[in-house]
């Protein structure tokens, strides 16, 4: 019962109902800027927030789309910049702890490998669409000393596409009767679909590697 109550308390619908538009800024900032925010529902939060801007929705509350289009990118972009700075300043020390469960030393080598495979900017943009990875990528980018200017460009592009895209997707599907009745199912589906960009890229590179082998 306690676990169910905890899950309900951090569900996108509950957080939006309690915190409103300001909560979107705070939650996205925490998820992308603070390592402890990896459990927060960024994808579903944006999708449900977009749906909440539809008049007469089934959520029993309504949010302002113009306000969301301003605060959501700010929270995501500023949060990621903070995460990068934390990684740049404290990352090497934090990631050297072999006993750590989440921040393991091998993550640094894996990040460098991802940057080599995809390019640093593309990796930062794609990470936006993958839960947990988007929390870890920003401090890791700072830890491996990705150039600040390159990170900021990728951060802004990824932050805008991720936040505005999911907000508009939620709003655009708001008129569909199925969405009104099954918003929780659609939010989960959005999370699953969010990993498609990285899967597509991995498949494309794998096929290219086989052709050149």
Q: Where are the domains of the chain?
A: 2-212
Query: 3-state DSSP call for residue 20?
Result: helix
Angle between helical axes of 42-52 and 148-172 (0-180°, round to 10):
40
| Highest mean pLDDT pick, 140-144, 149-153, 175-179, 203-207 | 149-153
Give the C-alpha distances (Å, rounded to integers) separating 32 from 120, 128, 135, 178, 187. Answer: 17, 9, 5, 31, 19
Looking at residue 162, what is its pLDDT? 93
Angle between helical axes of 12-33 and 65-94 (0-180°, round to 10):
40
Looking at residue 13, what is its pLDDT? 85
Closest by CA position to 130, among listed 201, 212, 59: 201
Proportion of the chain above pLDDT 70, given as a percent: 70
The pLDDT tens digits of the residues spanning 8-48 come to: 556 888 889 899 999 999 999 999 988 777 778 888 899 88
Instruction: Return the HEC string of 58-97.
Output: CCCCCCCHHHHHHHHHHHHHHHHHHHHHHHHHHHHHHCCC
Secondary structure letter of residue 132 according to DSSP: T
Q: Are 31 and 134 in contact (CB under 8 A)?
A: yes
Residue 4 has pLDDT above 50, yes or no: no
Looking at residue 111, what is its pLDDT? 72
């Amino acid at each position: 019962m306690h676990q169910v109550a905890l899950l309900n308390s951090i569900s996108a619908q509950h957080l939006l109902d309690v915190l409103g538009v300001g909560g979107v800024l705070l939650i996205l900032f925490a998820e992308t800027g603070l390592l402890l925010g990896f459990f927060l529902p960024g994808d579903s939060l944006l999708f449900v927030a977009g749906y909440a801007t539809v008049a007469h929705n089934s959520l029993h509350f309504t949010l302002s789309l113009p306000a969301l289009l301003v605060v959501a990118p700010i929270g995501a972009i500023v949060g990621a910049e903070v995460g990068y700075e934390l990684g740049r300043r404290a990352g090497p020390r934090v990631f050297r702890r072999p006993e750590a469960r989440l921040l393991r030393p091998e993550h640094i080598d894996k990040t460098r490998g991802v940057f080599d495979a995809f390019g640093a900017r593309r990796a930062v943009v794609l990470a936006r669409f993958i839960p947990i990875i988007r929390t870890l990528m920003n401090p890791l980018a700072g830890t491996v000393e990705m150039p600040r200017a390159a990170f900021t460009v990728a951060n802004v592009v990824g932050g805008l596409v991720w936040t505005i895209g999911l907000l508009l997707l939620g709003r655009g599907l708001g008129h569909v009767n199925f969405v009104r009745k099954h918003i929780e199912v659609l939010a989960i589906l959005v999370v699953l679909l969010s990993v498609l960009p990285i899967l597509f890229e991995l498949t494309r590179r794998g096929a290219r590697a086989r052709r050149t082998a």
